[in-house]
Amino acid sequence: MNAPSELVRQHLIDPEICIRCNTCEETCPKHAITHDTRNYVVRFEVCENCKACISPCPTGAIDNYRRVDKSMPHPIEAQFGWDSLPQESEPDEQQAPDIPDEVARITEIATAGQGGPALPPWSAAHPYVGLFTLARPAIATVTGNHRLTAEGASSAIHHIVLDFGQTAFPVLEGQSLGIIPPGLDASGRAHHVRLYSVASPRNGERTGYNNVALTVKRVLADREGNPVCGVASNYICDLAKGDKVRVVGPYGTSFLMPNHPGSSIMMICTGTGSAPMRAITERRRRRIALKEGGELALFFGARVPEELPYFGPLMKLPKDFIDINLAFSRVSGQPKRYVQDVIRERADKVAALLRDDNCYIYICGLKSMEAGVNEAFADVCRTQGMDWSTVLADLKQASRYHVETY
């Protein structure tokens, strides 16, 4: 078998949009940009992706990338001859993705709630899977790390931004990536890889940047409440700007959002299960002006508002863009409310979405929420004259029901 090729992002200038104003060439501190009488081009081997040329470009022509095999970038001689940018080349479809055993095992557990791995919605974008492996991980740089939950809150959830520089690490909303903590465990073996859902949309945490966001909860206790220090989560939550992280993936071929205009999305989550929901919501938000139609409904549970990741930005979203339903289980002086309670309260809405062939349902969070949500759906169906087991079978059949719990 041939050695796997390494995909990288090659910085290119769109000759159809470029006005040849020379601003980029003037700005580039590395002199990576040059021109002939026809085109402005970027020398792959010189460009360090510092982005100094991006904002001065008056046209946006400068802000283009193509995934290429590192050993075969587009040479400037070819770029000089272009009238338009080449199509994105697809990775070799023949090559089976390299999925580590641990990742397969975690995926099996996570998707048990929907009866194992399922097909994605028909209009989902094609996901790339397993481009980077344990033997050959991608190296990302930490460009942001801040705590999302209030300082006094019982859980510390962090928002981490990783930048892939010139490495192509294409992800879709709902996919995850694996982080390899450095060092060895007590028995002298490398640490297990940990999986995290990507919390940013496909075109970057910041539009046009080659970065992703993660939502990571610092693990300080096991499920029984005994003190334990999670190796990976503590490693990640302690990362500082500029730190390098070994990343594998991307993974996930099923928990993907629909892309067709008019498609609606119902999202049910707790805690860091909100990561993929944030990615999906942000994808839709960035496309708001396209007026593609379809509704977003979110059912989001936490103990108290202070522990709800992204609470502030969430509250700022327009009401006609997303129907937000929050449930808090530990607000003093108020009865405990869980996501299943809110689902029941919104029975009419939930039933309408279940009936809508264009509505896709996503559930992400702790395993323990699954049974409750299931029962709530069953109750909603009963009050609306539907049979949940039949509805669920249909949903799965149509790839409209996606569960990832852990």
Residue ranges in contact with another protein by CB under 8 A:
16-17, 19-23, 26-27, 37-38, 51-53, 55-56, 58-60, 63, 83, 207-208, 287, 289-290
Q: What's the closest the beta carbon of residue 83 comes to another protein, in angstroms? A: 7
Q: What's the closest the beta carbon of residue 112 comes to another protein, in angstroms? A: 40
> Would you say the C-alpha torsion 377, 381, 386, 387 has a positive or negative sign?
positive
Q: What's the closest the beta carbon of residue 58 comes to another protein, in angstroms? A: 4
Determine whether 243 is exposed, middle or buried from the number of CB atoms within 10 Å of its CB (0-12, 13-18, 19+): middle
Q: Name the residue among 262, 215, 250, 269 with its Cα closest to residue 402.
A: 269
The amino acid that residue 354 corresponds to is L
Q: Residue 45 or residue 83: which is nearer to another protein going by CB?
A: 83
Q: What's the closest the beta carbon of residue 30 comes to another protein, in angstroms? A: 12
Q: What's the closest the beta carbon of residue 75 comes to another protein, in angstroms? A: 23
Q: What's the closest the beta carbon of residue 160 comes to another protein, in angstroms? A: 22
Angstrom distance (rounded) from CA 102 to CA 97 = 14
Q: Residue 58 or residue 293: which is nearer to another protein going by CB?
A: 58
Q: What's the closest the beta carbon of residue 209 comes to another protein, in angstroms? A: 10
Q: Residue 108 or residue 292: which is nearer to another protein going by CB?
A: 292
Q: What's the closest the beta carbon of residue 62 comes to another protein, in angstroms? A: 11
Q: Residue 34 or residue 329: which is nearer to another protein going by CB?
A: 34
Determine whether 201 is exposed, middle or buried from the number of CB atoms within 10 Å of its CB (0-12, 13-18, 19+): buried
Q: Residue 291 or residue 319: which is nearer to another protein going by CB?
A: 291
Q: What's the closest the beta carbon of residue 189 comes to another protein, in angstroms? A: 43
SS3 readout for the chain: CCCCCCEEEEEECCCCCCCCCCHHHHHCCCCCEEECCCCEEECCCCCCCCCCCCCCCCCCCCCEEEEEECCCCCCHHHHHCCCCCCCCCCCCCCCCCCCCHHHHHHHHHHCHHHCCCCCCCCCCCCCCCCCECCCCCEEEEEEEEEECCCCCCCCCEEEEEEECCCECCCCCCCCEEEEECCCECCCCCECCCEEEEECCCCCCCCCCCCEEEEEEECCCECCCCCECCCHHHHHHHCCCCCCEEEEEEEECCCCCCCCCCCCEEEEEEEHHHHHHHHHHHHHHHHCHHHCCCCCEEEEEEECCHHHCCCHHHHHCCCCCCCEEEEEECCCCCCCCCCHHHHHHHCHHHHHHHHHCCCEEEEEEECHHHHHHHHHHHHHHHHHCCCCHHHHHHHHHHCCCEEEEEC
Q: Residue 55 or residue 383: which is nearer to another protein going by CB?
A: 55
Q: Residue 17 or residue 129: which is nearer to another protein going by CB?
A: 17
Q: Residue 53 or residue 342: which is nearer to another protein going by CB?
A: 53
Q: Residue 51 or residue 330: which is nearer to another protein going by CB?
A: 51
Q: What's the closest the beta carbon of residue 53 comes to another protein, in angstroms? A: 7
Q: What's the closest the beta carbon of residue 52 comes to another protein, in angstroms? A: 4
Q: Name the residue among 402, 202, 353 with its Cα closest to residue 282.
A: 202
Q: Residue 84 or residue 94: which is nearer to another protein going by CB?
A: 84
Token pair, residue 119, equals 């097909």
Q: Residue 287 or residue 330: which is nearer to another protein going by CB?
A: 287
